[in-house]
Structures are given as C-alpha cells and as structure tokens.
C-alpha cells in the first residue's frame, strides 16, 4: 500500500506501536504508556479504566494487575479485551482488540521486582476493587504487610500480568480539516497474516 508511508510505514504493527510510544515518551507530560482498558461484565455491560501498558512484545501488549480485581474477573470471563492509547501531544492514538492470556512467570516476577518497595507492599496490602472500610484500614494493612514481608517481598500469587494478543490494531493520526489518517491491521488469529486497510476518518 503505497500510501502507507511516514508514520504508518512498515510491515510490523508492533514495531510501529513501539516507535509511536518512543516518540510519545519525549513529548507526553505524564504516563505516555497509559491505556484505557475496556472489558465487559457477565451481563455484557462495558467497563473501562486507565492502566499502564508495561511491555510491547513481538506479538502482544502486556499490563499488570491484581487477579482478584473487577477487571481481572471480567477478563477471565470473556477472554477478550480492547484498549485505546491516546497522545494529545502527538495527536495520535492506537486502538487494540484481542484475546487475553495470563503472564504469571519470570516476566511477571521481573516486573514486580522492578517496582518501588512501597508499590510492592501495596500490591500485597490491597484487595483491589473490594469494599474498604477506610483509608486508615488500608494503611494499617500496609504496615502489617511491611512487618511480615520485609524489604524484599516476593510477587503475590494473586498479582501478575495479562497479555493481549491482537486480532485488530488501528493507528490514527490527526489530519487537516478533521480528515484524519486511519489504518487498521486485521487478522482472524495470531497465526494468520495481517491485512491492512485505510479507513475513512
């Protein structure tokens, strides 16, 4: 597709995503890796929240959370998710839809170990999405965990990653007169080849 040059050039959508994120890291004030993650509950009601994308692999996007959280429950029920990553400074966004699998191995351990001690202890202390009596109760639990887990806590068994393997990735860039540029990459499954289409703005 000869039109797909410049920002959209290349045969690997993950390489394009990495290049866009790298550029955003130089211009976006806060959290250039923030994504709005969408799921659906058992009744089909949508849910969306901001999380931080922690890795773009050769075939997947990875983020981390508590496996007892509402988002994790919904991810496990449907096995699917979508997200949008938007950068105001670049006037660009990436939309992703795909299938979910857990990351509970060495990569999850490595990422957990890279977090600050307070964040690691917080992961142990918080029963994410569960009712909370007060902030004081949460801080008391943090103090308890600090006393019992020590300065190098291991990754909690209820905390880890999710990997989204896309069946669709859309790259969007702002255009003059709101005639934006949109290219969508689609495939039926992870073993299939991508097809690329330009979409109307």
List active site positions: 178
Q: How far apart are CA 138 and CA 140, in angstroms?
A: 5
Token couple for 163: 């990997």
Token couple for 175: 């255009």
Query: What's the length of the chain?
Result: 201
DSSP state of 175: -
Taking the CA of residue 43 as centre, how many other CA atoms within 13 Å lie in the half-sphere pointing to its CB? Answer: 2
Q: How far apart are CA 17 and CA 9, in angstroms?
A: 11
Contact of 45 with 55, CB cutoff 8 Å: no
Beta-bridge partner residues of 164? 61, 100
Q: What share of the chain is helix, strand, coil (3-state, %, to 5)?
A: 30, 35, 35
Backbone dihedral region for residue 178 (phi beyond 0: left; psi -120 to 50: alpha; all else: beta): left
């Amino acid at each position: 597709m000869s039109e797909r040059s410049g920002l959209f050039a290349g045969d690997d959508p993950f390489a394009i995503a990495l290049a866009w994120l790298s550029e955003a890291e130089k211009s976006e004030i806060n959290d250039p890796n923030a994504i709005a993650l969408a799921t659906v509950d058992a009744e089909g009601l949508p849910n969306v929240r901001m999380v931080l994308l922690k890795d773009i692999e050769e075939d997947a996007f990875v983020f981390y959370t508590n496996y007892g959280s509402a988002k994790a429950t919904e991810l496990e029920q449907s096995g699917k998710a979508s997200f949008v990553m938007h950068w105001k400074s670049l006037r660009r966004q990436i939309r992703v839809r795909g299938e979910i699998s857990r990351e509970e191995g060495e990569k999850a351990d490595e990422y957990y170990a890279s977090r600050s001690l307070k964040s690691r202890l917080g992961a142990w202390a918080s029963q994410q999405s569960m009712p909370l009596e007060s902030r004081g109760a949460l801080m008391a639990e943090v103090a308890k965990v600090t006393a019992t887990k020590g300065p190098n806590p291991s990754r909690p068994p209820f905390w880890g990653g999710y990997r989204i393997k896309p069946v669709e990735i859309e790259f969007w860039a702002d255009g003059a007169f709101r005639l934006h540029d949109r290219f969508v990459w689609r495939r039926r499954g992870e073993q299939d080849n991508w097809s690329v289409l330009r979409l109307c703005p």
